Structure formats: C-alpha cells, structure tokens
Amino acid sequence: MKIRTIKQIHNLKNKRVLVRVDFNVPLEKGKVAEDARLIASLPTIEHLIKKGAKVILVSHLGRPEGFDKKLSLSPVAKRLENLMGRQVKLLKIERLKDYRNEVVDQISKMKNDEVVMLENIRFFPDEAKDENNFGKTLSGIADIFVLDGFAVVHRDSGSVTGVAKHLPSYAGLLLEKEIVGLSKAIEKPKKPFVLVLGGAKMETKLPVLKNLLSKADYVLIGGGIFNTYLWAKGCKVGKSLIDKEYKNEALKLLKNKKVILPVDFVVGKENGDKARVQDTSYKIQVTNNEAIYDIGPQTIRLYARYIKKAQTIVWNGAMGYFEQKPYDVGTLSIARLVASRSKGKAFGIIGGGETLQAMEKVKMMEFVDLVSTGGGAMLEFLSGQRLPGLKLLTK
Ligand code: ADP
Ligand code: MG
C-alpha cells in the first residue's frame, strides 16, 4: 500500500499543520503513567518543526461525554513538554466556534519552537461521527492535515477522516512506519511466514486468520481460539475461555493444513492451583471448575522449531492466562522466541495490548522490528479491511 507522507511536502515554512496523534495514554493520579505513545509520535512532530511548520496537535483521551476535567489533556501536554524540551500550549476552549477563532489567533502568535495542543477532541460530541461539519470547521484552523496515530485510522471521526476531506492530507512518520511494516507481511512476505495467534477476542482474531491463511506458511495457535476448537470438537473444557458463537468457523479454519495446533496444554484452577500438563492425544479431562490456561512444554518446543526458521513473523494474542503463574510460561517463551528471531533473520511484527505487555515482561521489545501501536487497527489492517483514515491518504 502506497500512501502520501510528510516527506513529500515541499514547503512547510510557517504552514499551520494539524497533526492527529493518538495520545490516549493511561493516567495515574493526574500524571501520565505510560508515555510510549507520546514518544512514538516525536519524530513526526520534530520533523515538522524543523521544516518551519506550526504544529497543532489533536488527540482524544478516554471516552468523555462532553467536558470532563478528569480527562483533560493537560498532564499529556506537560509530559510532552518534558520529552521535547519545548513549550506545549494547551488550548482549553469549550465550543468549537470560539475554539476556531481563539485557535487561529493563538496560532498566529506561536513562536517557531513551540507546539499547540487542542484540548481532548472528544469533549465535542460532534467529533465521534463527524456531525454538523465538525471536521470542516476544524480544518479551518490549519493549512495541512497530518495523520500520525495509527491506532485511530480505523475510526471515521471528525478529527480523522472529517478534516482530511478538507485539507491536503499526509501520513506522519509513525503511521508510515506502521503501514510499510505491516504491508511487508501482507504483500510480499519473505518466506517462511509464520503467524502466531492467540488471545481472547475471537471476533477480531478469526478475520486475521481468514485473511492471512493464504499468505502465511504456518499459523501457530494458542489462547481462546484453541480452547474453542477443542470445545467445538466435543471435548469437555470446563470453564475454559471459549466463544460459542464461532464454533463452526473455528472448526473450519483450524482444519487448514497450515494451522499448527498445540500438542499439549496446561490445565488447572484459576489461581494456579493443581496446574498440570495434558497431552492432546489422550482423552481430555478438565473438571467443571478448572480450565485450559496455557500451551504445554511440548507445544513450546514444537512452535520454537517453526519460529526459528521464519523470515517473517507476526504475533498477536497471548498463548494463555499469562497474568497468573504458572500459566505465563507459554506466552513468555513465545515472546522470547519471537524477539530472538526478530533480532536475527526474521522481520518480526507484534501488536495488541496484552501481547506488548508480555514482551515488556521479558524485556526484549527492542529486538522486534515493528511494535505496532494500534492493536485494533493492526488487526483490521491484517484482516484486509480498508481503513477509513488510510483511504484519504492513498496515492
Ligand atoms: P491482545 O490485547 O494482545 O490482542 P487479547 O486482548 O486478545 O490480546 O487477549 C489477551 C488476553 O487473553 C490475556 O489477558 C490473556 O490472559 C487471555 N488469555 C489467553 N489465553 C487464555 C486462556 N487459555 N485462558 C484464559 N485467558 C486467556
Ligand atoms: Mg487486548
């Protein structure tokens, strides 16, 4: 996929550039608890400033219904200020009409090395569905629009697609990196291409499996998909995480020859008690108050053989309930294997909230070639869906 990027803009001097970032970060006691999303957009912001542009940042935070002081971007602006060593001015205005005049006024007074940030864009109810010409009004404060937050490209909202319809629009460096990286997996992946798929939300995982089955050489399965498959085949799985709605689809998709299923798993109580390994070639015995919580040691060994030969790897979704010991072994082993092979010969991509947490736990994040900042957006992209925010940036 080819998209227009900010590297193609010739003249940025004194241009007002509205940059849609995803600074939807967790807050704790009024402070930013995790700033990876801020750091991810720094290259874009710095690039624009260096070229003489006036940068106006737009983001949402949480899901406010109207103005909500607790969801102000103020702590985010402060953290960004520290990270950049530049002044970040937060514009706190409550109605878009005033907003526009005041913003236009403030921007005209901006110094060359400072940055302006609009207050939480979801304080405006019209933002979500781009109602009452919200995007058009917003476009009135800038000359150019840049979309950088990959995690919001699947949203058809005022500050994503709405504004892009009314201004020359480009992808920022973060968005470009994500699209270029993910395209490597879905366009011409280097072979063997191994997809590792686990986790919980089946409605987001099965479309990925469906789309990538034709492109991948092997798909290694764990988590809820595996449980659902066992249950669909008629095994007693106790209170394992399953999704009954996907019974037939799971049976059909996992029958594919490219799909590698666990040969053993760990079963036990939710708190880790009575944890033991079972082989899938024997009759499966899970009592009513137990569940399948992880892939087993033979499966880890089996999956390691595939991962160690891969040239392209995509990993999304935990292999088990890794928040509880001893059910973390499968997921953390896969994390180490994926990271080591990415450091070596493979192009490695990981994404998803819990998947990233697992990689953080083994402290090998820097070995992964592309750590996607957009969980939901990444899955939709890998499912082959057209993302509304990208459509407007396509060459
Ligand atoms: P991601 O956010 O990385 O896309 P998901 O949100 O789909 O991943 O799912 C991750 C969650 O799934 C983890 O919190 C993990 O505990 C849970 N999970 C995976 N396998 C199991 C299992 N066998 N039993 C219970 N929970 C599981
Ligand atoms: Mg998740």
pLDDT band with cut points at 50, 70 and 90 for residue 1: confident
224: nearest Cα among 247, 204, 245, 200: 200
What is the rounded CA–CA span in Å between residue 311 and residue 191? Answer: 6
Tokens 């849609």, located at residue: 20
pLDDT at position 98: 65
Residue 241 Cβ contacting ligand 1 at under 6 Å: yes
User: 13-71: per-residue pLDDT in tens?
Assistant: 999 999 999 999 999 999 999 999 999 999 999 999 999 999 999 999 999 998 899 99
Residue 328 Cβ contacting ligand 1 at under 6 Å: no
Residue 239 Cβ contacting ligand 1 at under 6 Å: no
Could you give the domains of the chain?
6-174 (3.40.50.1260), 189-382 (3.40.50.1260)
CA 311 to chain centre: 22
Catalytic pick among 16, 20, 37, 155: 37
What is the rounded CA–CA span in Å between residue 265 and residue 238? Answer: 14
Measured from the Cα of 355, ligand 1's closest atom is: 3
Beta bridge partners of 313: 194, 348
Q: Beta-carbon neighbour count of residue 310 at 10 Å?
A: 29
Whether 353 sits among the annotated catalytic residues: the reply is: yes
User: 65-122: per-residue pLDDT in tens?
Assistant: 988 999 999 999 999 999 999 999 998 876 666 667 878 888 888 887 889 999 999 9
Catalytic pick among 86, 89, 136, 201: 201
Measured from the Cα of 358, ligand 1's closest atom is: 3
326 upstream amide cis, omega within 30 of 0: yes
C-alpha distances (whole Å) from 18 to each of 25, 45, 126, 163 are 20, 10, 18, 9
Catalytic pick among 191, 353, 363, 386: 353
Residue 223 Cβ contacting ligand 1 at under 6 Å: yes
What is the rounded CA–CA span in Å between residue 236 and residue 189? Answer: 38
Q: In testing the pocket of ligand 1, which one of 246, 321, 379, 383 has its CB within 8 Å of the most ligand atoms?
A: 321
Beta bridge partners of 32: 27
- What element of type H or E holds 261? none
User: 319-362: per-residue pLDDT in tens?
Assistant: 999 999 999 999 999 999 999 999 989 999 999 999 999 999 99
Measured from the Cα of 294, ligand 1's closest atom is: 23
DSSP 344: T
Mean predicted confidence (pLDDT) in 292-315: 98
Ligand nearest to the CA of 318: 1
Residue with more model confidence, 1 or 291? 291
Catalytic pick among 92, 258, 361, 376: 376
Whether 274 sits among the annotated catalytic residues: the reply is: no
Measured from the Cα of 356, ligand 1's closest atom is: 3
Whether 4 sits among the annotated catalytic residues: the reply is: no
Nearest residue (by CA) to ligand 1, atom 16, is 321
Tokens 């994040």, located at residue: 365
Asked if pLDDT for residue 188 goes beyond 70, the answer is: yes
Ligand nearest to the CA of 204: 1
Asked if pLDDT for residue 231 goes beyond 70, the answer is: yes
Phi, psi of 147 (to 5 degrees): -100, 120
Percent of the chain clearing pLDDT 90 (strictly above): 87
C-alpha distances (whole Å) from 333 to each of 131, 170, 220, 260, 325 are 47, 39, 13, 17, 13
Percent of the chain clearing pLDDT 70 (strictly above): 98
Q: What is the pTM of this model?
A: 0.92
pLDDT at position 95: 65
Measured from the Cα of 222, ligand 1's closest atom is: 20
Whether 374 sits among the annotated catalytic residues: the reply is: no
* Helix, strand, coil content of the chain in percent (nearest 5): 40, 15, 40
- Ligand 1 centre and the CA of 86: distance in Å? 39
Residue 224 Cβ contacting ligand 1 at under 6 Å: yes
The alpha-helical segments, DSSP class H, found in 213-295 are: 223-232, 247-254
pLDDT at position 97: 65
- Ligand 2 centre and the CA of 23: distance in Å? 18
Residue 262 Cβ contacting ligand 1 at under 6 Å: no
Mean predicted confidence (pLDDT) in 168-189: 95
Residue 208 Cβ contacting ligand 1 at under 6 Å: no
pLDDT at position 111: 82
- Ligand 2 centre and the CA of 364: distance in Å? 19
Mean pLDDT over the full length of the chain: 94
pLDDT at position 390: 92
148: nearest Cα among 266, 300, 39: 39
